[in-house]
Amino acid sequence: MIKFFLLSLTIFLYFLANFYVFNHLYTLLSGLSFPITGIFFLLVFFLPLSFILFLLLSKKLPIVPATFFYKVSTGWPIVLIYLVFLFIIYDGLHLLNRYVDFISENILKSKYNIVLILCLVVCICIYGYRNYLNKRRIHLKLSIHKKLTNPLKIIVISDLHLGYAIQKRELICWINKINNEQPDLVLIVGDIIDTNVIPLRYFELEKYLKKIKSRLGIYSCLGNHEYLSGVTDSIDFIKSAGINLLRDSSVLIDTGVYIVGRDDRTNGLRKPLSELIKDLDTSKPIIVLDHQPYHLEESELNQVDVQFSGHTHQGQVWPISLIANSIFEKSHGYLKKGNTHIYVSSGIGIWGGRFRIGTNSEYVVVDLFQD
């Protein structure tokens, strides 16, 4: 019931925000000819409804138009956030001017102010896109008390969101960055797939994922988007890419380190961490992959040495990042609980519109060694 209420409230606020923005933009139309006004009213209906159209048509359309629908429909809400924010400031100045009278009303009512706001949003989006393309290299040195035969160099990535927006060219760049590190081990913490496997199969992305070079292999857990994409199809794709999927299971790699992959919490029947750990030799190092960083204390209680998570994207753009910070104990970065090291990645990829504003995309290079 609560989820239904929150969803309904979100939809209502979304369409209210669209009405608010387009009502302001309408002031630019006075004196313009029909073709321009026609395009405006087409956008009034198309942009707010574009994501619904994508969901209805994506599996029926060819890749190119489906990609167009996806990029527009997921990019628009981010653009909308900044338009709303700037128009609220603009209206606030109008209201303040009634009492303080600090500027001519004619200047405040000028159409050029609306144009200026549009230009500012364009600049913000250009910055956000360029910032998204700039992947940060996060270097962590983690020491553990348990016996480790040799130090390990581990690459951790999460939230690839391969699909209609992120395709072959970007993936190849990421793989080159990973291979240049010459890792012993590569760990992927869920959300390899974005909305469905159709574009991944179309571009044969599994062939490129197989080019990741790792001495001890590539291991992954499921994320919530693997469920959204159809969990059976997602699992088939991950396995075809040469990735070892750990779904509420564990493996002891050659160096005597356990890797435990939890099923995503989307699956309400996933096993508790204590059950996954109970039959393991806890004198050996244990690394847990858990896509969503909830109940981080469980790893500490179960003698886990390192946990890697993702999912949050650190909110992806400001001010959504503030919401992410309020929801999660740690929405991004390093945290230590007792002897347990925890790192929550903001993700190498992104969901929807490719903007990083106030956050960064990243890949994590971990040097794991014994005290």
Q: Are 321 and 359 in contact (CB under 8 A)?
A: yes
Residue 279, CA distances (Å) to 87, 165, 220, 229, 282 in order: 58, 42, 21, 32, 9
Distance in angstroms (rounded) separating the CA atoms of residues 89 and 85: 7
- pLDDT recorded at residue 131: 97
Q: Are 173 and 160 in contact (CB under 8 A)?
A: no
- pLDDT recorded at residue 31: 67
Q: Are 108 and 27 in contact (CB under 8 A)?
A: no
Provide the 10 A C-beta neighbour count for residue 10: 10
Q: Are 183 and 216 in contact (CB under 8 A)?
A: no
- pLDDT recorded at residue 106: 66
Secondary structure (3-state) at 320? helix
Q: Edge-to-edge strand order for the sheet containing 306-309?
A: 249-252, 258-261, 286-289, 306-309, 340-344, 333-337
DSSP 262: P
- pLDDT recorded at residue 105: 66
Burial string for 193-221 (b: 16+ CB within 10 Å, else e) reads bbbbbbbbeebebbebbeebebebbbbbb
**Sole residue written with tokens 């001017």:** 97
- pLDDT recorded at residue 102: 67
Secondary structure (3-state) at 366? strand
Of the candidates 152, 154, 244, which has an alpha carbon nearest to the alpha carbon of residue 192?
244
Q: Are 345 and 364 in contact (CB under 8 A)?
A: yes
Of the candidates 134, 177, 142, which has an alpha carbon nearest to the alpha carbon of residue 157?
177
Provide the residue type at 313 as one letter: H
Of the candidates 185, 189, 180, 186, which has an alpha carbon nearest to the alpha carbon of residue 150?
185
Phi/psi-derived region of residue 97, left when phi > 0, alpha when psi is between -120 and 50, beta in every other case: alpha
List per-residue pLDDT tens for the chain, 371 residues long.
777 888 889 899 999 999 999 999 988 887 667 788 888 888 899 999 998 888 888 888 999 999 999 999 999 999 999 999 999 999 998 888 777 776 766 666 778 889 999 999 999 999 999 999 999 999 999 999 999 989 999 999 999 999 999 999 999 999 999 999 999 999 999 999 999 999 999 999 999 999 999 999 999 999 999 999 999 999 999 999 999 999 999 999 988 999 999 999 999 999 999 999 999 999 999 999 999 999 999 999 999 999 999 999 999 999 999 999 999 999 999 999 999 999 999 999 999 889 999 999 999 999 999 98
Of the candidates 323, 263, 259, which has an alpha carbon nearest to the alpha carbon of residue 286?
259
Of the candidates 200, 264, 209, which has an alpha carbon nearest to the alpha carbon of residue 233?
200
**Domains recognised in the chain with CATH numbers:** 2-132 (no CATH), 136-370 (3.60.21.10)
- Is omega for the bond preceding 319 within 30 degrees of 0, making it cis? yes
